[in-house]
Amino acid sequence: MAETPAQLSRSRDLDKLLLRPGNLIGANFEPGEELRDDIGKYAKVLVLGAGGLGCELLKDLALSGFQNLEVIDMDRIEVTNLNRQFLFRFEDVGKPKAEVAAKRVMERVSGVNIKPHYCRIEDKELDFYSDFSIIVLGLDSIEARSYINAVACSFLEYDSDDNAREETIKPMVDGGTEGFKGHARIILPGVTPCFECTIWLFPPQVKFPLCTLAETPRTAAHCIEYAHLIKWDEVHSGKAFDPDEAEHMKWVYNEAVKRAVLFGIPGVTFSLTQGVVKNIIPAIASTNAIISAACALETLKLASGCSKTLSNYLTYNGAEGLHTKVTEFVRDKDCLVCGPGVLIELETSITLQKFIDLLEEHPKLLLSKASVTHQGNNLYMQAPPVLEEMTRSNLNQVLFDLMGKTAKSILHVTGTTSKNDKKFSTLRKLRVVFKGVDGVTDMDTAGGA
């Protein structure tokens, strides 16, 4: 077998998919060198998380022809990461994950540029996110997924027939793993269900009833949570429990053992104590590799059209035999996040301050400490202090004037909501309609001011 020039190219294998016409392909597939070069030069992909999934994703994407990558991660490397986060070595412990991961991949894959961001995803402005072709999620929390989902959906615009405008769709590819299980999904806001449409797939964590902990413990976890949630406060009046404090953990463990002995319950170990108290999710290299690879492949297919795409949710379970399943979930037409936006009718006289107060009481929003953006302009920002000061004077102004006296427009608001006693950042898109302007009828709606 003679070697042709194609054999000598680093894109030898990828070229077969990107340069040749195919039969089972996506819409808009235009095979050719230009496509390959565009993916390298112009497709900008953002990876969220540089952990178990993120490390794999950066490698997989870099070897799938993407040359412009950015990665956000707020964590530093820990020893317990090393069994799966293969871009990190023991001497990297303590360094920011995003920076080390980006550097390692760039060292090995020439031509790839990865820009690391050592920060929280909430620290970036909307504009930052609008810049990317595709956002890939390697996150481990529901709150972070929920937040970035709202960000991607905030770019979405609908035409007059309530169809999503294609150019405003910000695709997301989301992966998640736990032990031998995982999922990969594609979210095309306005087309496929968004994270919030199918939030029921992520049920809230079970908390043990306090009376069980106090009166009828049955499992080792009950004994541990008794020591952690009840006994600690009884003994250490006022001193908060710190899970990262070795002495605190040891104390909880000892108390849990005592309780377990008292009730004849087996299974309390120090490791389990850490697991229960810190809610540690078991994680292994292979599952992360599988899920990340599926996500990277879908990212390549979304960007190039070189094949059909996953529609729209893949689950993997390797605990008993091997099971993969594709489910086509459907959108929730009334979704607050990926729908056309929450409709709010306002008097033209309302001030920005009054409007912000209203968001707190609005039954669909319940949003406190809101910051408000209109078409990229910050009307009011709660933070950072500089911006707060700059925008404070707007609070007493009339919102209708601040929005350029348009009868209908879109506002983005970010603030805090609470769910299951936990507070988290939320971003919402609002369709604001001012009453009595330009033939807009004075409708009586639940969301009205």
Partner 1 sequence: MAEPKTKYDRQLRIWGEQGQAALEKASICLLNCGPTGSETLKNLVLGGVGSITVIDGSKVEVGDLGNNFMVDESSVGQSKAKCVCAFLQELNDAVKAKFIEEYPEALIETTPSFFSQFTLVVALREANVMLIFARSYGLTGFVRISLKEHSVIESKPDHFLDDLRLNNPWPELRRFAESIDLDTQDSVAHKHTPYVLILVKMAEQWAKSHGGSLPSTREEKKEFKDLLKAKMVAMDEDNYKEAIEASFKVFAPRGISPDLQQILNDNRAEVDSNSSDFWGDGGCSEGSFIPSGISLLHSNLEFIANQGGGEAPLEGSIPDMTSSTELYVNLQNIYQAKAEADFLSIEQRVCRYRSIEDEFNSPILPELQKYLTDEDYSSVAIGFYILIRAVDRFAANYNSFPGQFDGGMDEDISRLKTTAVGLLSDLGCNGSTLTEDLINEMCRFGASELHAVAAFIGGIASQEVIKLITRQFVPMSGTFVFNGIDHKSQLLSL
Please report whether residue 197 would count as binding Zn ion according to CB under 5 A: yes
Strands 323-327 and 342-346: unpaired
Please report whether residue 84 would count as binding partner 1 according to CB under 8 A: yes
Q: Is the dihedral of CA 347, 348, 349, 352 positive or negative?
A: positive
DSSP string of 326-393? Answer: EE-----TT-TTTSS-EEEEE-TT-BHHHHHHHHHH-TTT--EEEEEEETTEEEE--SSHHHHHHHHG
Min CB(65)–Zn ion separation in Å: 30
The region of 60-68, 335-343, 414-422, 427-435 touching partner 1 under the rule CB under 8 A is 60-68
Neighbours of 168 (CB within 10 A): 16
- Subset of residues 337 to 376 that bind Zn ion, contact rule: CB under 5 A: 337-338
Taking CB within 5 to 8 Å according to partner kind, which of partner 1, Zn ion, none is near residue 412?
A: none
The one among 314, 335, 381, 402 contacting partner 1 by CB under 8 A:
314
Please report whether residue 76 would count as binding partner 1 according to CB under 8 A: no
Min CB(156)–Zn ion separation in Å: 10
- Subset of residues 261 to 300 that bind partner 1, contact rule: CB under 8 A: 263-265, 271, 275, 280-290, 292-294, 296-297, 300
The one among 22, 40, 340, 447 contacting partner 1 by CB under 8 A:
22
Please report whether residue 194 would count as binding Zn ion according to CB under 5 A: yes
362: nearest Cα among 445, 250, 289, 434? 445
Min CB(48)–Zn ion separation in Å: 18
The region of 318-326, 354-362, 385-393, 411-419 touching partner 1 under the rule CB under 8 A is 318-326
300: nearest Cα among 85, 11, 107, 51? 11
Of residues 162 and 178, the one with the C-beta less far from Zn ion:
162
Cα angle for residues 391, 393, 394 (degrees, 5° grid): 70
CA distance 378 to 426: 17
Residue nearest to Zn ion (CB): 335
The region of 77-85, 190-198, 384-392, 430-438 touching Zn ion under the rule CB under 5 A is 190-198
Neighbours of 257 (CB within 10 A): 18
- How many residues bind partner 1 (CB under 8 A)? The answer is 81
